[in-house]
Amino acid sequence: MHLGTKGIRLRWRGQAGSCIFGASLAFGSQMACADPTTLICDVKEDSNLCCVVDGPGSIVLDEAAKSVTIHYPPTHTKATGAQVGNNTRTLTASFSPDTIGFQIDGRAVTLSRLTGVMVDWGLTWTCHVGKAQF
């Protein structure tokens, strides 16, 4: 049977429509969400803070679980040099195309997906996706 170009177009559109429909169903489910992503963050403190940041922090984004896990960097106090313990927190988050929002002790915090910058409590986090270096 001979299909003209119109028939082929209709057939192709039908297949594409099925793929798009299937993809939209898949993206609506948790199975389509990406694996958790780890960000490595250079953390700079405001000069008015009591502590000095001694290394990088990290943030694990888990869109499927609607959560972020913040691994605060090691710090020490300016006055005595005493080490302040590392701290890790997992928080509920909302994910949009441009930002990731969550609350830390009642403060609304936003991580920009465009710039990788988050500011909270006198700390500026500049983050990039962590990748194996070798």
- Tens of pLDDT along the chain (134 residues)? 444 444 433 333 333 333 333 333 333 433 456 799 999 999 998 777 778 888 899 999 999 999 999 998 888 888 888 887 678 899 999 999 999 999 998 999 999 999 999 998 888 999 999 988 88
The alpha helices in the chain, defined as continuous H runs, are 5-28
The one-character DSSP state at 105 is T
Strand partners, 109: 102
CB 72 within 8 A of CB 88: yes
**What is the rounded CA–CA span in Å between residue 118 and residue 89?**
15
pTM, entire model: 0.70
Q: How far is CA 74 from CA 21, 47, 96, in A?
A: 47, 17, 30
